[in-house]
Structure 1
């Protein structure tokens, strides 16, 4: 797919630090959905988290290192420039001004979809993007009534809808679900244990060189 309507993907996260549990599903989604580009978007202050252990610059550096060899992936730092909590709806409004004629795919995990109706102005989000849900193969959780109604109304199984329609669809994509978390990685480092094979080598080296996560993990 090479037309100008080819969708662009966005994956937000604290990335404290970024790891293969973020990167592998992101790669699979970008390939299977034929996305024009996939942007990783580090949060400045995630609304549901009290804070981060690294600076915005350090987390941004690690994302850049992690995707350096992936031409389909780029970093978007607009949320790092905010001095307050970063809400998805605000970011989507900004992105739509930058890409007014390009469909946007906002990527989230199944855990985020389960609590989607608790998000700030969640009812407006599908007015600006499609939602792509990264899920474990053959796993279909029970949604609350509100979320199930949204899924029933908006779900598509046609990938082309993500490219030909401006917004409003929910698409479920099976991806490799690696049992890795940033908190687990921070705990390993604090306990002076190896994080090899959990993060890219370049990220591991950056963490070592900058003595990151040496204090008590959060």
Structure 2
């Protein structure tokens, strides 16, 4: 599971998903747009538009899935509920992973039912090339004794581990910067898949 607002999806998101799948030898990566993100402001475009853009971005990439399940639930898009629905689908013994960036990881102790996340899945923290900060004390307590050294150790059980991962590409692209450039009428070429850029331009999204 790789969740987020995907507001809009960019090449950093997509390349991370591909490299995550390869490194951990995952069957698939569910990219799940948040309908109502609990810890940030409302996204610039509707959940349905963001899902459509994500599907365009993924295209025919093997193993990547644009998963709409959070759009079908009322209320805030809590990751614990999303993982519970995935766990119900794959069964108790399947290895389930939730990947998140280092900036989101720093706020994990503030998430809804953070302890429950670790009963349902492993956590894989993707380092960002432009983001370093010390871990808050509540987060240190939450992850105590859970960190493993490599993918083999992580995948030895269905859930409960934590792996920090530096992906090869480490693309320093942010959706905030993409939105800013679009609003200013500046080029976003090579930051987005061509199909996504074309769609945004055709529909005038983020141009305000």
| TM-score normalized by the length of structure 2 | 0.92
Shift of 1:86: 0.6
Long gaps (5+) in structure 2:
none
The DSSP-based 3-state class of the residue aligned with 1:112 is helix
Equivalent position of 1:86 in the other structure:
77
Equivalent position of 1:203 in the other structure:
196
Equivalent position of 1:99 in the other structure:
90
Using the alignment, how far apart are the partners of 1:152 and 1:213 within structure 2? Answer: 41
1:191 equivalent to 2:193? Answer no
Q: Aligned-residue CA RMSD in angstroms?
A: 1.7
- Structure 1 runs, 4 residues or longer, greater than 6 Å off: none
1:103–1:162 contact (8 Å) kept in structure 2 = no
Equivalent position of 2:28 in the other structure:
37
Q: How does 1:67-216 map to 2 (within 5 A)?
A: 67-100=58-91, 101-136=93-128, 141-175=133-167, 176-215=169-208
Equivalent position of 1:7 in the other structure:
none
Long gaps (5+) in structure 1:
1-9
Using the alignment, how far apart are the partners of 1:97 and 1:161 within structure 2? Answer: 24
Residues paired across the two proteins, number: 205
Using the alignment, how far apart are the partners of 2:120 and 2:191 within structure 1? Answer: 34
Using the alignment, how far apart are the partners of 1:14 and 1:146 within structure 2? Answer: 25
| TM-score normalized by the length of structure 1 | 0.88
Shift of 1:50: 2.2
